[in-house]
Chains A and B, each alone.
Chain A
Amino acid sequence: DAGITQSPRYKITETGRQVTLMCHQTWSHSYMFWYRQDLGHGLRLIYYSAAADITDKGEVPDGYVVSRSKTENFPLTLESATRSQTSVYFCASSPSGGPYEQYFGPGTRLTVT
C-alpha cells in the first residue's frame, strides 16, 4: 500500500510546453490538494477537490488546470509553462475536511527553462 504517490519526481521542461503532474492515492480519501512550495512563501494552495468531479481554486490557481474523474487521481496540468512555475509541487489528501490532517506525497521538482 503506497499511500500517496506523485510522478514524475523530477521534470525539466521548456517555456510554453504543457506538462502534467500526476497524483495517486490508495486510501479513497475524499479530499485532494495541490500545493507549490517556494522559498519565502511556504506552501501555497493551487487547487483542491472535495470529491470526484468537484474542484475549487486555491490561493494561486492561475496557469494551472486540474481534473478529478476518479477519486484516487488528481492530475495537475500546466497548460503553457512559465519560468515562474519552477517550484516543488506537493499533492496531499485527507479523508474529509474539518479537523482532519492532510497526508502529503513526496513532491515533484519542476524546472521550467
Chain B
Amino acid sequence: AQSVAQPEDQVNVAEGNPLTVKCTYSVSGNPYLFWYVQYPNRGLQFLLKYITGDNLVKGSYGFEAEFNKSQTSFHLKKPSALVSDSALYFCAVRDMAGANNLFFGTGTRLTVIP
C-alpha cells in the first residue's frame, strides 16, 4: 500500500528565515515523489519531483527537496521564505511499479510572517 504523511498541519516561519515542510512516505517499491502548492481558490501547482539520481531536487520559486531513502522522507525546503510563499503544500507519492495514480498527504499550511 502507498501512503504519505505530512506530520504538521501548520508551519509558521518568519520572512527571510529558512523553511522546511516535512513529508514521509510508504511504498512497496521505489517511489516517484512530488510536491505541489495550492493558493486560495486555485488548483494545485507542481513544484518539483524526484524520479531518480541526485537526492537534492530543485524546483520552482527557489524551492528544493531532499530525498532520503533510509528515512523514507522527502522534505521541502527553501533557504529564505517570502510572504508570498504562504499557501497549502501537498506531498504526493507514486510507486514506480504500481498504478499511475498519486497518493497525496493531507497538506501543510505554510504561513510566512512579515
Contact = CB atoms under 8 A, between A and B. Distances in A.
Interface of A: 31, 33, 35, 40-45, 48, 50, 56, 58-59, 90, 92, 94, 97-99, 101-107
A5 B48 CA distance: 22
B20 interface: no
B106 A42 contact: yes
A42 B105 contact: yes
Given A43-B104, A103-B46, 14 more contacts: A33-B101, A35-B104, A40-B106, A42-B105, A45-B103, A50-B100, A90-B43, A97-B100, A98-B32, A105-B43, A106-B41, A106-B43, A107-B42, A107-B43
A43 B90 contact: yes
Contacts, number: 54
A102 to B, nearest CB: 7
Interface residues of B, number: 23
A94 B92 CA distance: 15
Contact of A90 (B34, B44, B51, B103): B44
B34 to A, nearest CB: 6
